[in-house]
Structure 1
Amino acid sequence: MTQAALTAFFGWMAVLHIGVLLFATCMIFGLRGWITDVHAKLTGVEKDTLAPLYFQWLGTYKLLIFVFALVPWLALTIM
């Protein structure tokens, strides 16, 4: 693979994952009551415990996007 192809790959991967992150964030905050009810029934976790778990998941996903998509794209762009 060429550097241009890798740069494009990591760029589009970052765009895709940021879109998923924004969609998940909007769904969690926009439909909080309904999503909390569904997840509480599916997993057996109490509703009060789910809010910190949502923030932890969103933060972890954002960190993974930075490490595995944005940083490689930025490094390849700078080269």
Structure 2
Amino acid sequence: MDLQALTSFFMWCTIVNGSILIVWVLIFLLTPEMVYLSQNAWIKLPRESFNVIMYCMIGLFKLLFLVFNAVPYLALLLIT
């Protein structure tokens, strides 16, 4: 696989996963009650625990997004 194809792959991974992260954060910020009620139908959790879990999951996704998508893409841009 050449560097151009690898750079293109990481560019699209960054765009797709960045979009997922933005949509997830916006949904959680704009409609937190709807998210809580829809998830509470399956798993009964107190509201405080749910908020902590969602915050941690968004943070984990952001960290994984940066480490495995954005940083490799930027590194490839620097070497090409």
- TM-score range (shorter-chain normalised) is over 0.9
Whole-angstrom CA distance in 1 between matches of 2:38 and 2:46: 11
Match for 2:47: what amino acid?
A: K
RMSD in angstroms over aligned alpha carbons? Answer: 0.9
Equivalent in the alignment of 1:69: 69
**1:18-51 CA-partner distances (Å, limit 9, x unpaired):** 1000001111111111111121221122222111
**1:2-30 CA-partner distances (Å, limit 9, x unpaired):** 10010010011001101000001111111
Whole-angstrom CA distance in 2 between matches of 1:49 and 1:38: 15
Q: TM-score, normalised by structure 1?
A: 0.93
The 8 Å contact of residues 37 and 47 in structure 1, kept in 2 or not, is answered as: no
Question: Does residue 32 in structure 1 map to residue 32 in structure 2?
Answer: yes
Question: Does residue 56 in structure 1 map to residue 56 in structure 2?
Answer: yes
Aligned length: 79
Which 5+ residue runs of structure 2 have no aligned equivalent? none
Whole-angstrom CA distance in 2 between matches of 1:58 and 1:31: 15
* Percent sequence identity over aligned pairs: 24
Question: Displaced runs of 4+ in structure 1, greater than 3 A?
Answer: none
Secondary structure at the aligned position of 2:19 is classed as helix
Secondary structure at the aligned position of 2:45 is classed as coil
